[in-house]
Structure 1
Amino acid sequence: MYHKILVTVDLNDPASYELALPQAIELAKASAGELHLLTVVPDMGMPLVEGFFPAGYEEQALDAAKKKLDSLARERLPADTPHEQHIALGNITQRVIEAVEETGADLVVMASHDPDFAQNFLVGSHAGKVVRRSPVSVLVVRA
């Protein structure tokens, strides 16, 4: 089955892990696999925007994300679940794909909200982009 399962976590949206994380835990248990929890802190996107934030903002955001992810892992993962935690900065889809390659994941588990045609048409969902670009299978759990 799956030996390394990458689970994407949006720390600002509990729906991103409330349903997806239990699914990933069950898959990992069934196959004696390990979990890789990934949260991505979006970057500013443009140097112009970055100028409006205080110096060191990205480092502070990464530190805060690490603390939240540590807390989430302690609260939600059974003690006997092998796992690693990963924090990334940048484009969410790109960082997920990079994490698949870096961790050797053979499955990505992520949540997605009910599709909103207008939003997906204009922006596109992160889950949809990962599904299209991922070199491995992606389990999208409807949140």
Structure 2
Amino acid sequence: MTERSSSFERILVGVDFSDTADEVLRVARSRFPGAELRVVHVVDARAVGVPDLSSGSLMPVTPGRDLTDALSHADFARLTPLLQDHEQGDILVGDPATALVEDAARSGADLIVVGAHNRGALERFFVGSVAEQVVRRAHVPVLVVKH
């Protein structure tokens, strides 16, 4: 059995494919060598939209099974290169904070590692922060990596 530097053996790492994702993975791997990492990306079903060519913005659509399956498949192709040997990866669909907290409980994670973005106060007020919501809802410790 491998000796570990901490009591954390199963770690859920939430990534969002931003610049923060690489740093979150680096921190998780370096601070917890030998731990079992489960790297998860959540497709935010609330933010699914299609381009509105007249305005240049996204028109919201009701996410159907085909759309979320297509997004999940595309995101899994982006997730796979981030994984190292013996790391598990998964794509979930739903509210990111809720999905991460529920997956941590389901998978038996004893730590969640997520990144924090530098957002303005107004955006945090309206959108909130996934990291903040995970910290509030999780039943295990949460390590927030600030970028």
TM bucket, shorter chain: 0.7 to 0.9
- Counting only pairs closer than 5 Å after superposition, residues 43-62 of structure 1 correspond to structure 2 as 43-44=45-46, 49-51=60-62, 56-62=66-72
Partner-residue secondary structure (3-state), 2:45: coil
Distance 1:20 1:7 in 2: 8
Alpha carbons of structure 1 residues 110 and 54: separation in structure 2 relative to 1, 3 Å: closer
Aligned counterpart in structure 1 of residue 133 of structure 2, from 113, 129, 133: 129
TM-score by length of 1: 0.82
Q: What is the number of residues matched between the two proteins?
A: 131
Q: Does 1:5 align with 2:16?
A: no
Q: Which AA in structure 2 matches 1:39?
A: H
Alpha carbons of structure 1 residues 117 and 42: separation in structure 2 relative to 1, 3 Å: same
**Amino-acid identity (%):** 28
Q: Which AA in structure 2 matches 1:7?
A: V
- Counting only pairs closer than 5 Å after superposition, residues 56-95 of structure 1 correspond to structure 2 as 56-73=66-83, 77=84, 79=85, 82-95=86-99
- Give the deviation of 1:6 after TM superposition: 0.6
Distance 2:25 2:65 in 1: 34
- Give the deviation of 1:17 after TM superposition: 1.2
Determine the structure 2 residue equivalent to 1:26: 30
Higher percent of residues as strand: 2
Higher percent of residues as helix: 1
Q: Does 1:142 align with 2:127?
A: no
Determine the structure 1 residue equivalent to 2:42: 40
User: Relative contact order, CA 8 A, sep 6+: which one is greater?
Assistant: 1
- Give the deviation of 1:45 after TM superposition: 6.7
In structure 2, stretches of 5+ residues that fail to align are 1-6, 49-58
Whichever of the two has the greater Rg, that structure is 2
Give the CA RMSD over aligned residues. 2.2
